[in-house]
Amino acid sequence: MTEKTTGETLLSQYEKLGISRKVYRYGESVLEKLAPRFAQIDQVAEYNQMKVIAAMQEARVSEACLMGTTGYGYNDLGRETLETVYAKLFHTQAALVRPQITCGTHALALALMSNLRPGDVLLSPVGKPYDTLEEVIGIRPSRGSLQEYGIGYRQVDLLPDGSFDWEGIRAAIGEDTKLATIQRSKGYQTRQTFSVEQIGELIAFLKSVKPDLICMVDNCYGEFTQTIEPTDVGADLCVGSLIKNPGGGLAPIGGYLAGTQACIDNAACRLISPGLGKEVGATLHVLPSFYQGLFLAPSVTAAALKGAVFAANLYEGLGFRVVPSGSAERYDIIQAVEFGTPEGLIAFCEGIQSAAPVDSFVTPEPWDMPGYDSQVIMAAGAFVSGASIELSADGPLKPPYAAYFQGGLTWQHAKFGILKSLQRCLERHVIDDIPYNE
Ligand SMILES: *Cc1c(COP(=O)(O)O)cnc(C)c1O
């Protein structure tokens, strides 16, 4: 087949799936300019793939590690080895990687509740944390929050230009400030995501003010987007979800903490029980997916990054504000597209949903999701329920009506989803027309 006929055959395949010639051609015109960006993403993936393999080899992962345990889970070789793999990857003394950690919020709550004591103060030097953390901390009063246990909270907002408020941070650190929580990814905000280098600068400053301050990073969505992780630049503790980047789309549940021995031991005693700590916790049948998912994670993250870069350039070309911008460096896999109207956000999510391999025929609707303070719409047709390393989109129904788009286990699926979203926006007259060259 010549290149031209291959293109036509591909187009007919897309047309069968509801993509018009116009949308397809516009997508191709956007893609043409992205080759150097994609090459750079592939290079990071290659580096990280070697890093994962090296960690697995050094930890002597063997076939026996894939077996799993039941009951108490004493002497679970696979669990202990996997925790060594994570500690090697993150260059930390220890790690806790468990299916008993339900999600990212649970992992973060665990890290905070186990390393803070009554009378301590938690500091966020990067502004408001992720929505679900508000109830963990007690910013919004909630049963079982840190606040109920007498743990204080101070927050220093970013300056209007998005930079750290160095003087404000210095002033906020007192005798009782025990732990600083730094969220790497923007989450449901339209600030920039921090690079690992920026986080390193912030941690160096925090430690210069108070050397024994525990610096924790909410690493959700950031893993493998760069060649280094926050623990490489001084973080005492790095926390994330296995149904995001490091699970590679295969982990069906779970969370991880990587950090100092003391931080990890505190977390293990809180997750399980004082006295038992890391020694128990059956892994049942999840270990193969934890190992294989981690093995795939660098290339899955690269696929998601390509999707994010493509979406940014595609919608930016149509005049929408996108965060990060089409040309910006990437430090997480999330792409925000601001639609300005609920109709735009909803149409975008419907398009993503209709591209899914699972549940493509359902229509996502806004709902009152626990932990969030406004209605949220979510589109996901995932093999693992709620997995946001799989192609998914969501956003709170409040101004600026930003759709947060992320994931894609393969670049090809991410591309298809984005084209579908544009197709739906055209059908719903959220967008009047797109540039089109025959
Ligand atoms: C997803 C996310 C969380 C919470 O994780 P869940 O698995 O949804 O509970 C926390 N912080 C950030 C930055 C996230 O992206």
Number of domains in the chain: 2
| pLDDT(4) > 70 | no
38 with 81, same domain: the answer is no
* Domain, as residue range, for 94: 70-283
Distance 219 CA to ligand 1 centre (A): 9
213 with 264, same domain: the answer is yes
Distance 181 CA to ligand 1 centre (A): 14
87 with 210, same domain: the answer is yes
Distance CA 303, CA 301 (A): 5
Distance 309 CA to ligand 1 centre (A): 21
In-domain check, residue 88: yes
* Atom 5 in ligand 1: residue holding the nearest Cα: 104
336 with 221, same domain: the answer is no
pLDDT of residue 122: 98
Of 212, 182, 206, which is closest to residue 196 (Cα–Cα)?
A: 182
258 with 117, same domain: the answer is yes
Domain boundary among 231, 263, 283: 283
Q: Is 335 left (phi over 0), alpha (psi -120 to 50) or beta?
A: beta
CATH number (domain holding residue 278): 3.40.640.10
Distance CA 367, CA 375 (A): 5
In-domain check, residue 76: yes
Domain boundary among 283, 311, 342: 283
* Atom 7 in ligand 1: residue holding the nearest Cα: 104
In-domain check, residue 304: yes
* DSSP output for 45-110: HHHHHHHHHHHHHHTT--GGGGS---TT-TT-HHHHHHHHHHHHHHT-SEEEEETTS-SHHHHHHH
Q: Which of 191, 218, 405 to probe ligand 1 with, by most ligand atoms within 8 A of CB?
A: 218
181 with 211, same domain: the answer is yes
312 with 419, same domain: the answer is yes
Tokens of 419: 């084209």
pLDDT of residue 7: 75
- Give the max Cα distance, the chain: 71
Domain boundary among 263, 283, 303: 283
| pLDDT(348) > 90 | yes
303 with 405, same domain: the answer is yes
* Residue 91: CB atoms within 10 Å: 12
Closest ligand 1 atom to 130 CA: 11
| pLDDT(1) > 60 | no
In-domain check, residue 219: yes
In-domain check, residue 52: no
96 with 242, same domain: the answer is yes
Residues in a beta bridge with 25: none
| pLDDT(167) > 70 | yes
In-domain check, residue 205: yes
Distance 197 CA to ligand 1 centre (A): 21
Tokens of 240: 């994330």
Digit-coded pLDDT (tens) for 194-239: 999 999 999 999 999 999 999 999 999 999 999 999 999 999 999 9
Q: Hey, CA dihedral for 224, 226, 228, 233, is it positive or negative?
A: negative
In-domain check, residue 58: no
In-domain check, residue 61: no
Instruction: Name every residue whose Cβ is closer than 8 Å to that of residue 432 and which is 6 or more positions away in sequence.
Output: none
pTM of the complete model beyond 0.85: yes
Of 309, 314, 358, 359, which is closest to residue 333 (Cα–Cα)?
A: 309
266 with 303, same domain: the answer is no
CATH number (domain holding residue 395): 3.90.1150.60
Instruction: Name every residue whose Cβ is closer than 8 Å to that of residue 119 and which is 6 or more positions away in sequence.
Output: 150, 151, 152, 176
Please report which helix (H) or strand (E) contains residue 350, including its range: helix 342-354
pLDDT classification of 407: cutoffs 50, 70, 90: very high
pLDDT of residue 370: 78
pLDDT of residue 438: 59
265 with 387, same domain: the answer is no
Pocket of ligand 1 (CB under 6 A): 103-105, 108, 130, 132, 183, 185, 187, 218, 220-221, 241
Digit-coded pLDDT (tens) for 94-127: 999 999 999 999 999 999 999 999 999 999 999 9
370 with 422, same domain: the answer is yes
Closest ligand 1 atom to 108 CA: 10
Of 424, 213, 230, which is closest to residue 331 (Cα–Cα)?
A: 230
Instruction: Name every residue whose Cβ is closer than 8 Å to that of residue 4 and which is 6 or more positions away in sequence.
Output: none
